[in-house]
Structure 1
């Protein structure tokens, strides 16, 4: 039974305020904190900000107040294992289509804490508890390391937002080691070729060199990954760049010349026709992020229009764990690939690592293998893999 809930402001990895919740039950105290994106799709649930002078309008005291003054009393004495009922209650309390009254950041932080408390109430690790909602098997995802940053995540002229290496070894620990080695190789190459300006970091821990040529960036990565069995994923975040700047031919050329495994958001979030055409034409995974925003309605539209065959899942795009589970189940029913994703403004909360394992996602994005808030997710995956290995020996 939920005994107490208290929210407060903390700072995320960009130094912007975000929400942290403490939820107390008979089994203990459970914390959760929510991330924030720099490039946000227009169909995402609304992140409530103060829009007042402190923190350049980025404060979250209103969201915190909504938890402490509105949500807390409504969910007190509720059963923490009743995730769906609690999430539906918060959605009803908000009363808007996009969670703009209470704030998706307020609702999600509570929803995450409830999920953690629910797992403890059943004496299960979080990933196994989550897996009960999917009735499948747990699986460690392949990591997508964002080692070179552009777009809204960096102060350079690269339009592509994320250049990711995706190692393909048998275990997560091996994949992590490969990603870490490539990251350090890339640092040495950029330092040698460009100098200190080449190893300035972007928001997600990847390097943000002062270059503007996508192919030059890819060539640097291929040199750093020489001898390694890797694929490359690109988050083009096309909703953030000039309309029509890139065409299918551009992506065809990249897929021909580099080991591309997926293109994420290669076109703008409303350019259904281009998404359909590239999904039909290219033999790589076409992933929707801003296109889908972890939203059931958008995912169904994309299926009907044959617009993609992969989905980014971001818990703060939709704002509750229950709705996230529903989105994942729908995507899985279509046979699409799933990438569980962090945001550029992160905390050390590792919830998405357990989500990826428990939902059997194929991939996870948590930035570069560097910086505390990114490593929190990767360290959690290493720990889970070790636990699973011990169960089978």
Structure 2
């Protein structure tokens, strides 16, 4: 056995040396030899059992990501023998062209059983023309448009598809209007001859007694005309699905998991797009350069001009702007969402991190909500109620009052608590003390934001999360102010099963790192089949519970997992 092992090692060294010599000679004029020689030298040291597999895996990792190289449109038959569309996707994977998958799409119309022969023939002609147009779009325009793009870039793919279809739809609309106008001009109105009026006898015919007048039946409304279909539009949906299937095959995950990951990535992408839009909306206007002769005059005018709008990025990764009203930041977010074709309350929900303890002016005993504008604790309840009336998309208030204003917390809970998350953060800074003194002063709210700081231990989080769960309150993990690049907070939140996580804005590396880790965990859970997809509407599906006997006992409802972001 010893001799055989020795012979195997000598043979392996010979094969490695021979492979190294042949590869260097073959690729002598390229950049490959230097890297290949480095790999082979490493292999000589490690002596892998399967050095060919080692070499293949190494260079596979250095290859370019798969890209689309060809889209093919074909005419096939559907389940009842009518023509429909199929799209084949060919990608370049590891420098080789490979047919990845294909996708078909259903025809755009349904024919009823009582359809006349003329209507059936017209539908068949329109269907054939639509399929032929779709094949033309795919084999010419789309084939050129998508060549070289990565099939995993679904957002960009669908954006290009949408722009192309919008252009074709506008052309089709213009064509249809021109045809209608031409038909109206060619139509000759019929000549109508006036009918002589019937002679009136002078006596009015009265209704006979004992007979009820006949009821006039309401006419049945005619069927709405069918919505016009843009010929070739089948190509748009078929390509979008085909490339989604190709991306799932390339990444070696089921299609439903790929779709779930696209949905997760969209949530963070939405927040990032909104933040970029806010940066554009708050961009200070560019002042035109003044001439040399007007230097003194412009300097005098500059002193009278109002100060520029304050805009900076806080240590929390959030955009900070100057504002003259409480509604101004929310209106900016509303405008940003409208520019991105998003709807507040449907696509995006808002949470306000009020930080009321930072607004208290102790010399006046009131909250300074704006410069020179002071409100009492009682008046703050009315302020929040007015904001929710103007912006129904608000669903969460974090620290709306100081923890000392216990009575106002109860009033705010009774006013808004059945429809909104009222979350406390400032009152539970120390998790271990919260466990030591269960009766410590904390407001009656729907949940708490906990932070991993100082002497807090893992077992402390385990105990306090169980304590809040028993009370039917929400446990939220939040980033501390002095944040680091350690992303363990995400793993801790997922492991504890917290309902939300509060990470701050999508800026600064120490916070973006945690968003990236959140996406990585979600992708890993999805690959293992352990990711639960829930309806986002359930996050804010509040159900009122029966009132407890104690006056200050607060009813809470369980909620699904989500992301709470601090002040976009």
Is contact 1:313–1:328 with CA below 8 Å preserved after alignment?
no
Runs of 4+ in 1 over 3 A off after TM superposition: 169-172, 192-199, 297-302
Match of 1:186, SS state, is: helix
Corresponding residue of 1:254: 387
Q: How far is the alpha carbon of 1:170 from its aligned partner?
A: 9.0
CA distance in structure 2 between the partners assigned to 1:279 and 1:194 by the alignment: 46
Q: Give the superposition deviation at 1:232.
A: 0.9
Pairwise CA RMSD: 2.8
Cα distance in 1 for partners of 2:455, 2:357 equals 18
* In 1, Cα distance between equivalents of 2:366 and 2:309: 30
User: How far is 1:317 from its partner?
Assistant: 6.8
CA shift at 1:199, angstroms? 3.6
2:273 maps to which residue?
Answer: 181
- The secondary structure found in structure 1 opposite 2:426 is coil
Confirm or deny that 1:284 pairs with 2:284: no
* Partner SS for 1:349: coil
Rounded to whole Å, the distance in 1 between the matches of 2:494 and 2:524 is 12
User: TM-score with structure 2 length normalisation?
Assistant: 0.37
- Structure 1 residues 308-317 or 239-248, which shifts more? 239-248
Q: How does 1:265-304 map to 2 (within 5 A)?
A: 265-282=399-416, 283-293=419-429, 294=431, 295-296=433-434, 300-301=438-439
Q: 1:223 maps to which residue?
A: 335
C-alpha displacement of 1:320: 2.0
Residue correspondence of structure 1 range 296-335 to structure 2 within 5 A: 296=434, 300-301=438-439, 307-316=444-453, 319-335=456-472
Query: For each residue in 1:13-66, what CA deviation from the matched residue of structure 2 results, as whole angstroms up to 9, or x when unmatched?
Result: xxxxxxxxxxxxxxxxxxxxxxxxxxxxxxxxxxxxxxxxxxxxxxxxxxxxxx
- Other-structure match for 2:320: 208
**Higher relative contact order, chain-length normalized (CA < 8 Å, sep 6+):** 1
Cα 1:265–1:301 shift into 2, 3 Å: farther
Instruction: Please say if 1:239 is aligned against 2:357.
Output: yes
Q: Evaluate the alpha carbon distance shift between residue 275 and residue 317 of structure 1 in structure 2; reply closer, same or farther with a 3 A threshold.
A: farther
Would you say the 8 A contact 2:435–2:460 is kept in 1?
Answer: no
1:380 CA displacement: 0.5
The alpha-carbon deviation at position 244 of structure 1 amounts to: 3.5
1:50-65 to 2 correspondences below 5 Å: none
Cα offset, 1:385, TM superposition: 0.6
CA distance in 1, matches of 2:286, 2:320: 11
Cα distance between partner residues in 1 of 2:454 and 2:385: 30
Unaligned runs of 5+ in 2: 1-260, 288-307, 368-374, 531-568
Q: Note if contact 1:296-1:330 (Cα within 8 Å) is conserved in structure 2.
A: no
Contact kept? 1:279, 1:285, Cα under 8 Å: no
Q: Is the 8 A contact 2:451 2:477 kept in 1?
A: yes
Structure 1 residues 349 and 191: CA distance shift in structure 2, 3 A:
same
Q: In 2 relative to 1, CA 172–358 (structure 1 residues): closer, same or farther, beyond 3 Å?
A: farther
Please tell me whether the aligned partners of residues 284 and 309 of structure 2 are also in contact (alpha carbons under 8 angstroms): no
- With over 3 angstroms needed to count, the CA separation of the structure-2 counterparts of 1:281 and 1:305, relative to structure 1, is farther
- Whether the 8 Å CA contact 1:203–1:344 is kept in 2: the answer is yes
User: May I ask how many residue pairs the two structures share in their alignment?
Assistant: 224
Aligned partners of 1:172 and 1:381 also within 8 Å: no
CA distance in 2, matches of 1:274, 1:377: 35
* Residue of structure 1 equivalent to 2:529: 392
CA positional deviation for 1:339 = 2.2
2-side partners of 1:194 and 1:209: how far apart? 18
Matched-pair contact (CA < 8 Å) for 2:452–2:480:
no
Partner-residue secondary structure (3-state), 2:512? helix
In 2 relative to 1, CA 377–192 (structure 1 residues): closer, same or farther, beyond 3 Å? same
What is the rounded CA distance, in whole Å, between the counterparts of 1:299 and 1:250 in structure 2? 33
Runs (5+) with no aligned partner, structure 1: 1-168
8 A contact 2:449–2:477 mirrored in 1: yes
* Alpha-carbon separation, structure 2, partners of 1:352 and 1:314: 9
Q: Following TM superposition, by how much is the alpha carbon of 1:327 offset from its aligned partner in structure 2, in angstroms?
A: 1.5
Q: Counterparts of 1:188 and 1:208 in 2: how far apart (Å)?
A: 13
- Tell me the CA shift for residue 225 of structure 1: 2.0
Aligned-residue offset at 1:301: 4.1
Shift of 1:235: 1.3
